[in-house]
């Protein structure tokens, strides 16, 4: 297996944790962020680019190919943002920003990476990040649900396009995972307890132990017969309704 990977959003909780996990396993990495200073301590060739635009994504993939000596055989697209707000209070600028950070960045990064693999005539695997809110209705998540739902549709469509070339594309759909982006939601004991109570397994997720672990597995040859799938990583939130005894 060619142990090379391009990680976008590598300065975030999941991206950073995944980079550390893969580096420990001997992978060679190229790591991308819009803010180069935030890549301090992240292993791999550091690339500053905004992958929510086609030009930025193409530049990131080319820089990764140059740093690694060939097109990276694996892609982990961890870039993204979130927005918790009712639709009536969602401004157009907020909506556009959420779509750009999530769906646009996924589209353009996959476009550039798949183009590089096609030129090199090599197989590969990609993992994208969706959200539990794309598959089950959760109040006040309209914009991010629309963006993440688009990512899931993109994963299935492109998996069909490139499967004959030996390229796999999957997604992870997590529930709330503790990371710098979500820290405010579990900032105190009462808030953390309330969040944990929503999940059948009794806890929120963790960017390293859960998110990075799932992504690393989907990128590995152990998941070599899996493509076009969305892995629910949500403590049972979307699939399980525990029995609750009456008082």
Distance of CA 99 to the CA centre of its chain: 14
- Among 47-51, 138-142, 235-239, the range scoring the smallest mean pLDDT is 235-239
**pLDDT class for 196, splitting at 50, 70, 90?**
confident
**pLDDT class for 203, splitting at 50, 70, 90?**
confident
- Among 154-158, 179-183, 222-226, the range scoring the smallest mean pLDDT is 179-183
Calculate what percentage of the chain has a pLDDT beyond 70. 93
Whether the predicted pLDDT of 182 surpasses 60: no
What does the alpha-carbon distance between residue 196 and residue 203 come to, in Å, rounded to a whole number? 4
Whether the predicted pLDDT of 66 surpasses 70: yes
Give residue for tokens 């550039």. Answer: 112
What does the alpha-carbon distance between residue 101 and residue 144 come to, in Å, rounded to a whole number? 10
* Averaged pLDDT of the chain: 93
Give the pair of three-digit tokens for residue 162.
């490139």
pLDDT at residue 187, as a whole number: 58
Average pLDDT over residues 2-9: 95
What does the alpha-carbon distance between residue 139 and residue 86 come to, in Å, rounded to a whole number? 7
Give residue for tokens 């959760």. Answer: 138
Average pLDDT over residues 158-166: 98
What does the alpha-carbon distance between residue 231 and residue 12 come to, in Å, rounded to a whole number? 20
pTM: 0.93
C-alpha distance from residue 25 to each of 3, 22, 132, 209 (Å): 9, 5, 29, 15
Edge-to-edge order in the sheet of strand 124-129: 45-48, 28-33, 4-8, 74-77, 124-129, 167-174, 230-233
pLDDT tens-place string over residues 212-247: 999 999 999 999 999 999 999 999 999 988 777 766
**pLDDT class for 110, splitting at 50, 70, 90?**
very high
**What is the three-class DSSP state of 242?**
coil
**Neighbouring-strand partners of residue 232:** 173
> If we measure between CA atoms, which residue out of 8, 211, 227, 179 comes closest to residue 104?
8
Could you tell me which residue, 205 or 196, shows the higher pLDDT?
205
**What is the three-class DSSP state of 170?**
strand
pLDDT tens-place string over residues 89-106: 999 999 999 999 999 999
């Amino acid at each position: 297996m060619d142990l090379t990977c391009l990680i976008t959003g590598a300065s975030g909780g999941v991206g950073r944790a995944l980079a550390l996990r893969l580096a420990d396993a001997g992978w060679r990495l190229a790591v991308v962020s819009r803010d180069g200073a935030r890549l301090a301590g992240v292993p791999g060739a550091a690339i500053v680019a905004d992958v929510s635009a086609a030009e930025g994504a193409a530049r990131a993939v080319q820089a990764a190919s140059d740093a690694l000596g060939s097109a990276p055989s694996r892609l982990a697209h961890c870039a993204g943002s979130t927005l918790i707000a009712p639709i009536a209070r969602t401004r157009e600028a907020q909506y556009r920003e959420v779509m750009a950070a999530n769906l646009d960045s996924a589209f353009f990064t996959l476009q550039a990476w798949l183009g590089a693999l096609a030129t090199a005539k090599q197989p590969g695997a990609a993992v994208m990040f969706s959200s539990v809110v794309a598959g089950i209705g959760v109040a006040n998540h309209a914009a991010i649900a629309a963006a993440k739902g688009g990512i899931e549709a993109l994963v299935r469509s492109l998996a069909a396009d490139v499967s004959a070339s030996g390229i796999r594309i999957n997604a992870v759909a997590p529930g709330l995972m503790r990371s710098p982006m979500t820290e405010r939601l579990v900032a105190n004991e009462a808030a953390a307890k309330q969040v944990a109570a929503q999940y059948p397994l009794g806890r929120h997720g963790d960017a390293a132990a859960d998110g990075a672990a799932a992504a690393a597995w989907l990128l590995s040859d152990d998941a070599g017969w899996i493509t076009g799938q969305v892995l629910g990583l949500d403590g049972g939130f979307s699939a399980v309704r525990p029995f609750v005894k009456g008082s």
